[in-house]
Amino acid sequence: MRKLEIFDTTLRDGAQAEGISFSVSDKLKIASALDNFGVHYIEGGNPGSNPKDMEFFKSAAALELKNSKLVAFGSTKRKGIAVEEDANVMSLLDAGTDVVAIFGKSWDLHVTEILRTTFEENISCITETVRFFKSKGKEVIFDAEHFFDGYKNSPDYAMQSLHAAADGGADVLVLCDTNGGMLPADCYRIAKAVCDEFPDMRIGIHCHNDSGCATANTIMAVEAGACHVQGTFTGIGERCGNADLSIIIPNLQLKSDYDCVNCKLEKLMETELTIAEISNMSVPNNKPYVGESAFAHKGGMHIDGVDKLSESFEHVDPTLVGNRRKFLLSEVSGKKAVLLKLKKIAPHLTKDCPETAEILKRIKELEYGGYQFETADASFELLAKKVIGSFKPHFELSMYRANSESPVANGEMSSNAVIKIKVGSTDEITAAVGNGPVHALDQALRKALTAFYPILSEVHLIDYKVRVLETGRTTDSYVRVLIESTDGKRTWTTVGVSSDIIEASFTALVDSLEYKLNMDEK
- Residue 456 lies in domain: 396-521
Q: What is the pLDDT of residue 390?
A: 86
- The one-letter amino acid at 316: V
| 84 lies in some domain | yes
User: In the chain, what is the straight-line distance between the N-terminal and C-terminal CA atoms, in Å?
Assistant: 49
pLDDT recorded at residue 94? 96
Q: What is the pLDDT of residue 344?
A: 74
What is the four-CA torsion angle of 432, 436, 441, 446, rounded to 10 degrees?
-70
Residues 255 and 404 in one domain: no
CA proximity to 383, closest of 221, 227, 515: 515
Q: By the 8 A CB rule, do 498 and 434 touch?
A: no
Give the span between the Cα atoms of 261 and 40, in whole angstroms: 8
What are the tens digits of pLDDT across the range 199-239? 999 999 999 999 999 999 999 999 999 999 999 999 999 99
The residue from 237, 263, 289 where one domain ends is 263
Specify whether the CB–CB gap between 236 and 272 falls below 8 A.
Answer: no
Number of domains in the chain: 2
Amino acid at 427: D
CATH of the domain at 163: 3.20.20.70
Backbone CA torsion sign across 424, 428, 434, 438? positive
The answer to whether position 344 is within a domain reads: no
Evaluate whether residue 136 is within a structural domain: yes
CA–CA distance, 174 with 229 (Å, rounded to integer): 9
Task: Tell me, yes or no, whether 317 lies in a domain.
Answer: no
Has residue 43 been placed in a domain? yes
Return the C-alpha torsion angle 336, 339, 340, 344, nearest 10.
180
Structural domain includes residue 162: yes
- The pLDDT score that the predictor gives to residue 355 is 86
Which residues of the chain register pLDDT less than 50?
Answer: none
Separation between Cα atoms, residue 146 and residue 175, nearest integer Å: 8
- Residues sharing a CB contact under 8 Å with residue 282, sequence separation 6 or more, in sequence order: 276
Single out the residue in 263, 295, 311 at which a domain terminates. Answer: 263
The closest of 174, 193, 246 to 14, measured between CA atoms, is 246
Q: What is the CATH number of the domain that holds 406?
A: 3.30.160.270
Helix (H, G, I), strand (E, B) or coil at 393: coil
Asked if the structure places residue 269 within a domain, the reply is no
- Of the residues 210, 243, 263, the one at which a domain ends: 263
CA distances from 11 to 275, 278, 370 (A): 10, 12, 43
Mean pLDDT rounded to a whole number for the chain: 91
381 CA to centre of own chain: 28
pLDDT in tens, 385-412: 898 888 889 999 999 998 887 776 666 6
174: in domain: yes
